[in-house]
Structure 1
């Protein structure tokens, strides 16, 4: 490693470099428990080679984009490795997306091939004929589940599994793109963050260092592989650090401790809201510290951000488990702050500025640095090559705007104290985050405007009792419209991913406007839940959460 001023030259590597190292050092040891299906590195490599050959036969090559609409399972893992073996770009799509939101991501990514599980195949099938770039739809299960003729050719996943298993002869470089992850837009549609191979390795190494992850650790997580968090911790992180990972299909409060026992997990990787649920759950005989003979003895660390201080304390006192939540980052740049092993935390902080990888500052609205302790926008620059995103996919104007004055602007408000500890304060940009999912208010408003009884609409955040945000929609109905909050909610269930269906609905005669005629969302956010607000949860409205 060579340092020249603010720039540090470090070794650059690819995901395939890590896989090769694992194959050399531990090919036959347990590597991944994928929802009950176990793989060694060698077994996974052979299976991924076959899928890669099958995708290559469909025309996938270096730089192609392949979208996956898959819940956690062997197919999601094998697809991810196979795509990278071809030098192609993985586009993991949230399995809850449907309609306009799904069409936007598949179109924007110029997707060549879509891989989808059978019970979700109707969602892309409804929109694929309007997406010119998609040539092939691969169904995990029975392709007959697609009950309509498509312009794209339809294939069975089992066809890919029967392909030749030779490793593709493709050169992949550290700066090559590995994944496009879509993040919530504020004044426009969601943007694809273009992430290099080396960035995958960089963030995985930082997270592992923060956790004090060891080769003997078993990391368990229910987080979906369409989240960069799960990719970094469960796949890249395990290749980087050794040991094994256990990936659950989905999260269950009642199943948490039995899963930790079944897998022998020493580290559990959650999100803040999920960590809150486990901490506040009823007593479980297998819970660590329960005093029962069957109580868990393996779990030593639970991670999840953001985690309220009282929840952090509850894990220590109730379960005797150490927690990690002192970190801050975005999909575009991570980790901007962290808490390396041995570094003392500071209440309510997101750890200390990660000056090993980034130069981090707090700016005012005119991009002038503010004094220590003052609030402003969190901005950063990398100190190494390819340790943050390469830009927004096919959106050069948005990339340049985010890099105003050659500083990446996170859109978040924070402060840095005299000792370098970073404190997250609020979001400057108008996006929401609920149960770990970024939600674009602009995209939701676009959907609600399609309802014939809606004249105007504003989607905004309100405080949640658990963590992060709840979503509220304030609606101005058309004159003489026969529309109830419950009816609009049930309509939204059919149009939106489950996590984006607003909890709160309120009808008004008009929206608050600024002098320039734009809706002043800050007023609606500050008002929050009013006596006129209809609450979906209080009304008992339920729906399938997938």
Structure 2
């Protein structure tokens, strides 16, 4: 028997007065966070929520997320975290697809009216029985949405103690929906065992401060599995403190690092790019970089490939190597780590983590020697996609999950991502892997960020196109970049089409949306 909520309950017993969450000026200790989660559990039980019922949660990185997340787990329910940028029809799709019984949604702001979109979706879904508003104002008992009740009004009179349901370790704890960057989102069912063991793996791979401090800047969205495991579950498992940041901003992240003495940071590559850009564009003396580098001991990147040039630049500026992890929503997410503090190889996603196996396969599930699609087996692999038996039959085979990522493996067992199979460009019959082209483009001194996709072409089938953000004051033009690329890439690889932009479309987690670029 196992319930993932034990990681919060253990902290409340062991270190009740220690800061668990820091959100702006609000500091909440473990005892308080656990007490409010107990109230949420009592609320759900009083509304007829049964073990196995799905509870949707749409919240940015605020204390509301762990309140509802652990409260739902305590009552044996399944949490369905929703991306806060979803439109009303998209929220409706997620509610209907998961069969959610209730939805808790952050009110948002006039610029991001999440609550209004969620309430509209709720009204269109018969299976969803009640809606709870997570108000922007702490403690508010009146909702800005007509007909909605706030969390604080709903919790009034609810006891602060609750005996958690002892779920089976293989019961579904969370349904994580894939980002949908390559198709309609599917819900990956992750068990209590999947998530707890992956949190333990994240902790085993975390570099700890020699003075025992453990303060993690949590800017990765908690509704995403990367932030949920590497930040929320892993940090609470080891009784650390999370500094919550609802929306990434490089300058604000640096300020919080300095103010709170942050020891750990995890982000997608574009966040590391944002930190570097903030330092480089700031007036001298704006940030105490020396103070920041003296406290930060753990830096993890994941979500998409980390360009080597970006990694080198970050290490040069902040004095710490970035550990590149690899994983997917379907694998809870951690599969492998490339840890420069132990043993690492440039451009690699490293070696499988404890309890996980990796291999390379072809399209027919046959083993491949040195290059092929990554398949994963171990405690991290999902139970399957919710209500998708036909898809499960395609991606799951005897405990193995095929990832869709193409890689090569060297003689020491290190894996190197070549690209996602669905992102691969086929130009004139030749395979072009966008990541390889992006790595080369990122070495150009006038390029700040690059993304490469395939676009339709009359004779070649697809052509290579590069979307570029230039460095400030750069005067690089299209032809100059094409000529430069031609000298460094094979004739079928270099981009023939270049488009300069001031920004690139990204998911809420900071992944570049190549589907939109196409």
Q: Secondary structure at the match of 1:368?
A: coil
C-alpha spacing 1:466/1:240, structure 2 compared with 1 (3 Å): farther
1:349-394, Cα deviation, whole Å (9 max, x unpaired): 111233x3222111122322222xx321001222xxx432111111
- Equivalent position SS for 2:83: coil
Residues 525 and 390 of structure 1: CA distance in aligned 2, closer, same or farther (over 3 Å): farther
Counterpart of 1:206 in structure 2 is 201
Of residues 134, 137, 143, the one that matches 1:140 is 134
Give matches, 1:262-281, under 5 Å.
262-281=259-278
Per the alignment, do residues 467 and 416 of structure 1 end up closer, same or farther by CA in structure 2, a change over 3 Å counting? Answer: farther
Partner of 1:36: 25
**1:11-410 matched pairs, under 5 angstroms:** 13-119=2-108, 120-141=114-135, 145-147=144-146, 154-162=148-156, 163-185=158-180, 188-213=183-208, 216-281=213-278, 282-283=281-282, 285=285, 287=287, 289=289, 297-305=294-302, 306-325=305-324, 327-333=325-331, 334-339=333-338, 343-354=342-353, 356-371=354-369, 374-382=370-378, 386-404=379-397, 407-410=400-403
Say which SS state the counterpart of residue 92 (structure 2) adopts: helix
Q: How does 1:466-545 map to 2 (within 5 A)?
A: 469=451, 523-524=461-462, 526-527=464-465, 537=501
Cα distance in 1, alignment partners of residues 183 and 309 from structure 2: 37
Displacement of 1:255 in angstroms is 1.3
CA contact (8 A) 1:218 1:266 kept: yes
Match for 1:420 among 385, 409, 413?
Answer: 413
Alpha-carbon distance, 1:61 to partner: 2.4
Helix, strand or coil at the partner of 2:259 = helix
| Aligned CA distance change for structure 1 residues 470 and 166 (closer, same or farther; 3 Å) | farther
Q: Give the Å deviation of 1:260.
A: 0.6
Structure 1 pair 188/267, CA: closer, same or farther in 2 (3 Å)?
closer
Counterparts of 2:263 and 2:311 in 1: how far apart (Å)? 17
CA contact (8 A) 1:211 1:341 kept: no
The Cα shift of 1:99 comes to: 3.5
Deviations 1:223-250 (A, max 9, x none): 1111111111222112222232212122
Question: 1:423 aligns to what SS in structure 2?
Answer: strand
Deviation at 1:251, TM superposition (A): 1.2
Query: TM-score, normalization: structure 2?
Result: 0.77
Q: What's the C-alpha RMSD, in Å, of the aligned pairs?
A: 3.5
Q: Secondary structure at the match of 1:411?
A: strand
Deviation, structure 1 residue 188:
5.0
For these two proteins, the number of residue pairs brought into alignment is: 447
Kindly indicate whether the alpha-carbon contact (under 8 Å) linking 1:185 and 1:431 is maintained by their aligned counterparts in 2. no
Say which SS state the counterpart of residue 52 (structure 1) adopts.
helix
Contact 1:31/1:245, CA 8 A, preserved across alignment: yes
- For the 8 Å contact 2:385–2:392, the answer to whether it is kept is yes
Whether the aligned pair in 1 keeps the contact of 2:54 and 2:100 (CA below 8 Å) is yes
Question: Aligned partners of 2:292 and 2:180: how far apart in 1?
Answer: 44
CA contact under 8 A between 2:21 and 2:63: conserved in structure 1? Answer: no
- Indicate conservation of the 8 Å contact 1:50/1:160, yes or no: no
SS class of match (1:379): strand
TM-superposed deviation, 1:80: 1.0
Q: Assess, with a 3 A threshold, how the Cα gap between structure 1 residues 270 and 196 changes in structure 2: closer, same or farther.
A: same
Distance 1:143 1:428, change over 3 A: farther
Kindly indicate whether the alpha-carbon contact (under 8 Å) linking 1:377 and 1:411 is maintained by their aligned counterparts in 2. yes
Gaps of 5+ in 2: 109-113, 136-140, 426-433, 468-477, 480-495, 511-518
Mapped to 1, the partners of 2:102 and 2:497 lie a distance apart of: 43
Moved more, 94-103 or 137-146: 137-146
